[in-house]
Structure 1
Amino acid sequence: MPMNHRPFGRLALAIVLVSVLFAPATVAGTVDPQPTPAAYYGELTAAEEPIPAGVTVTAEIDGEVRGELVTTEADRFGGAGAFEPKLQVDGESGDAGAVVRFYVDGVEAAETVQWQSSDVRSVDLSVADPWESADGGGGGGFAPGTGGGGVPGGDTPSDVNGSDENSTDDTPATVDVRPDPTEPGVTDVAVTGGRAGETVSMNLGTDEDAEFSMTGLTLVPAVDGDFTLRISTSPTLPDETPALADEGVIEYVTVDHSISDANLEEVTFSFTIGTDVVADRGVDPDAIALYRYHDDRWTELPTSHVDTVNGRHVFDSDSPGLSVFAVALRGATADSSHTDETSDAGDDSDSSDERVADTDDAAGSAFDRPVLLLVVVVVAIVVIVGFRYGRSARR
């Protein structure tokens, strides 16, 4: 009796089709999508007066321009409507929680937001000085003599991201340090009249009773202008920041800054730690270092134990910029989901290559497992069909 091979052939064809359809979905599932941009809109005011249309509103993250929008109406940028334009701000992997700074024709606004993927919100932006042209009409920039600033806390603000070519004033910068009475561990600093290449020293004082005390910060700006800092110290990990896996962290320091890292030539931290704190940990003071979290990784910074005064160890540490910092034992390691933090700043390219390799390995693993499962299922089906076919043939 001749055998009918058509049912077996149809089943085999079905298995092949299912395999072809399933494989692309498996590959697509391994791709890490680019974060969806955030979008902002809102009012624009200068000295509480509307800003005319035709200005450019720019958004920056870590000193890098991520989006800009030219206004078409007075006193506002973008709109809430679904079809109205908005200031679209692109993000990268790891940018969640990063500070977005806004500029109106290059003048920094007082307001900032934290970037989140797909975030759409209203942000009302304001700058401090009147907005008028040189002939007294509306639009065209700040009035002559105001300095073009808008950074809170200064009496004569100027554009911190560009030098004032007409400035001939040699007066040293004025530094106003004000601890926030409502938030322990938070200090606001306003620098007025900063000059390119000239050191700006900030004496933050010492809390003799605290385990850790941030005593000073020294900056050398690369441009003329005013800027503000908000320095926060806490033993608690800041939001959206991965912890050091080691338990040797003594303190976290966060520095929010209106001046970009690109406009800083030098940054030096000074801090003290109680001798009893170091002794309780059973380590030498030379075993303590400052770490910086930047570009999705912790990096150990050059740190020196310079003295011991009045029962406190004194330290200095140099940094290439401002962000989130941790005071911890040397050799501390980052959270397991992040790269090694102990390499020097000069090893960024190698670390980037390692992150790419890790990403490729993870993608390969995510691809291999579903494909292997698919192969096992197909083989099992073929075996079962072959077994049944053999039984039918024997009958």
Structure 2
Amino acid sequence: MSVTTPRAALVVALVAVVVAGPVVGTAAAAPPEPPAAYHGQVTVNGDPAPAGLTVAAHFHGETTDTLETTSDGAFGGPGAFDGKLKVPGNASTDGDSVSFTVNGVDADTTVSWSSGANEQVTLNVEDSTAPDAAVSNPVSAPVPAGTTVTLDASGSTDALGVDAYAWSLPDGSTASGPTAAYTFEDAGEHTVAVTVTDIAGNTATAETTVTVEAADTGNDGGGSGGSDDGPSTQPDDSTTNESAANESEASAGDVSLAVDANETTISVTNASANAATRIDIPESNATSTENASLTGLNVSTTTGANVSLSVSVSDRAPAENGSAADSGGGDALSYISVEHDVPDEEIGTVDFRFTVSESRMADRGTDADRVVLYRNHDDAWQRLDTRHVGTADGTATFVATSPGLSVFAVRSGQPDISVTDAALDATNVTVGEAASVAVTVTNDGSGAGNATLALTANGDAVTTRTVSVDADATTNVTLAFTPESAGEYDVAVNGTDAGTLTASAPATTTTESPSTDDAGNAVGGDAPREQSGFDLSTVAVTALVAVLVVGLFALARRRV
């Protein structure tokens, strides 16, 4: 007969505990804490922030989420489908500080983290730092009088963003926008300054100098351009009583003009190939109306041939181009007609200098930043690079560059902005997890404009954002959608399908028991699921088994 010793019983008990330990250790961890969520308003020095600023949430040294402000400074919203700044955490981080930045600048508000919070916050950024103003000058050597130079301040920077540019030009005029084109008429050193203003109203100024040399008029005694005492010329068939011969200084050839009521005739001689000749056009009935004027041209030819031009300006489309002129898009402010006696293929680049009255633009519901010059060529309208270089005394001045000559229309450029593509970055997420939507926005119009993007889920608005798109340009933005409940969502941006998003509920540790009959046997329904872990009752049963094993061995020992 074998005898079970106390030591053997102890070994058996230890084995039972060792076996039970790993089993208990396989119990599933508790589900993660729901993240905190924040939305609200951004102000800069107390005023609502503009659209497009990036608001970021920071927790324990990490950036957890970002949103962009809308036009009223808002970011996200309280609704289930509104965007929010998500900040994950757990029980050990409850009460820890969450901070925020706007375009990388610290906001003056912090909050305490709390699991599942849906909190509205107001973030104010105090900004007294001036922007970093910079101006790029494309010329470093002296340039001849009559040269047009485009200066660029788009390299200016500011933490919260540059809001405006104000140019001070040598003749006392001003211009706005990131670039300014100016024609330097007089020899000497000329300073151009640009004042850059950020969204908080802080300013900084940058300057550059352009050195101008007296233009070589090409007058060696045989030409007429640029000479104070040279003879003027005029076509023999000029009939108006205001006909006059006017001469204009030319940078590469000799220029003479004859002005009558219906057209201005310009002759350019002795010009070298591919050298631009500057033509200043005096105000006349032919080249000016109450609404617009053509003030000058820079003309070049590829062969150096002599050129004869007939120029006129009208508020109505030329009869031979009427139907085509009306198809260019936007409202026509004026028309310019340039007839020439040189083959099209010999005409080089042509620069136009023209003006439009502010009253004309106001009547057409537009402004100087949207004025565009179009060229009619082969019965089609071609939009030309057009720059607003300044406004003075109720008149805006523009410079445009054309690859040739024909009929031109000065138009109010109109934006034509649409969403051309939208796509989810993922099609399956967990409830509370953000899904990004990549959006491509295209402006096929002739003027810059703004568009509001609306992200919808199953037809309900989720979030909106306003974007700016230049004429004939494309921009890419990212929107976010965080589903608050499980299900499928058809996601779209401004009606453009982005795909279907499936949101699943977070995994749980509870397993439903099958139904039983009166005898305790499982009936109906699905087969029992494998349990994902053990609760406290399982641990208690395991311990009880160990105790019973020890007791049985002890009882057997006494009977021996």
TM-score, normalised relative to structure 2: 0.28
Question: Which structure: greater helix fraction?
Answer: 1
Compare CA radii of gyration and give the structure with the larger one: 2
TM-score, normalised relative to structure 1: 0.39
Question: Which structure: greater strand fraction?
Answer: 2
